Amino acid sequence: MSIDALARPEIVAMKPYSSARKEAPGEGILLNANESPWSLLEDGEPESDLNRYPDPQPPQLVSRLARLYEVAKENVLVTRGSDEGIDLLTRVFCRAGQDAILQCPPTFGMYRIAAQTQGAAVVSVPRWTEEDFKLDQQGIIDAVENDARIKLVFLTSPNNPTGDAIEAGYLPELLEAASGRALVVVDEAYAEFSHSPSAATLIGHFENLVVLRTLSKAWAAAGLRCGAVLAPIPVISLLRRIIAPYPLASPVISLACRMLEQETLERQRRLLSEVAVNKARLLSILDDRPFISDLWPGEANFVLLRTDRADELLTFCAARGVILRGYPADPMLSGCIRVSVGSDRELSALDSALDAWEGAS
Ligand SMILES: *Cc1c(COP(=O)(O)O)cnc(C)c1O
């Protein structure tokens, strides 16, 4: 079965919008896009080409991302963060009122938001709360095989907020079971922090695999809003039909290209090892605290813990300027708090706040 058969028929049938920049590359005397011939910024400033529309998929950025993620250029779509990738996939593959996504809570909240925005149903296969939030592997396969509404299966590896990565060997089994029925979307926002291999290595082998990557976490560039969808060509072509004509602003394109230069690559490796060192320190700060009943170190740049009186602890820390993430609205995560790996100074502030809490309680 082709991937087009899984997509919304109106998207497959739609004649894509063709922007001026798509029809003619930005060279020559450009009188085709109703742009201003002048910029209001001084010549020589990096943004002095702001009067021109940016390249929809800048080749230099696409090839740097392809090299980074070890896939072919044709398998890359650059997006405004992975949030945009989630949104595009849901809009292409889910018909309102008919189709569904599958998610495995507790997990990242944007899969549900994208589905509900599109009018798609959300099928949840919860993780095993009594077994360290392990994925219900067979439950996911059963759901995909028995519920024809499911068009997208969202898995997060490592998962937010539980930190666990998908077990080796499971993904090919699920991709096989979902073949002809649904796409499996592996959100690898935290992959760089983990030692598990990227699912991107399987892209040549499965027509229904999509991998989401982002510069927001391990590339220390959440403010840049730049991510990538890695997928087989038929999926990329469908997403290109509905992505905004100019998804990336020119300053974002030039900054992202700079980020991926050799010099920054080396700095990023150092950043990853600093995060690993500080994560060990964070774990030692949390170790042996009598009020922490469970601790999930996970494979990402955060840890999850459980305590009674989580709400009070969050408020207590916030009053000392230390902001942690709680989940008051999620029964699966009752009493849970997620703590990101911070700098030495930030971790010291956390350490003192927890000492004070221990003294006061
Ligand atoms: C932070 C995060 C993202 C990042 O989204 P961007 O839009 O790229 O900033 C994606 N998925 C998960 C699971 C996350 O935790």
Q: pLDDT digit string (tens) for 322-351?
A: 999 999 999 999 999 999 999 999 999 999
Note the pLDDT of residue 24. Answer: 74
pLDDT of residue 94: 98
C-beta of 160 in contact with ligand 1 (< 6 A): yes
What are the tokens at 153?
Answer: 């299966």
Residue 325 burial class via C-beta count within 10 angstroms: exposed 0-12, middle 13-18, buried 19 and up: middle
| Top mutation candidate among 217, 299, 338 for ligand 1, by most atoms within 8 Å of CB | 217
Residue-wise pLDDT for 220-239, tens only, equals 999 999 999 999 999 999 99
Instruction: Indicate if the pLDDT at residue 193 is higher than 80.
Output: yes
pLDDT at 19: 78
| Protein residue with least CA distance to atom 3, ligand 1 | 189
- Residue 156 Cα to ligand 1 midpoint, Å, equals 10
What does the pLDDT read at residue 20?
76
At 68, the pLDDT band (50, 70, 90 cuts) reads very high
pLDDT band at 214 (very low <50, low <70, confident <90, very high): very high
- Give the residue, by CA position, lying nearest to ligand 1 atom 15: 160
Query: How far is it, in rounded angstroms, from Cα 137 to Cα 152?
Result: 16
Quick check: CB of 227 below 6 Å from ligand 1? Answer: yes
Pick the more confident residue, 49 or 331: 331
Q: pLDDT (tens digit, 9 = 90+) per residue, 126-142?
A: 999 999 999 999 999 99
**Region label for 298, one of left (φ > 0), alpha (ψ between -120 and 50) or beta (otherwise):** left
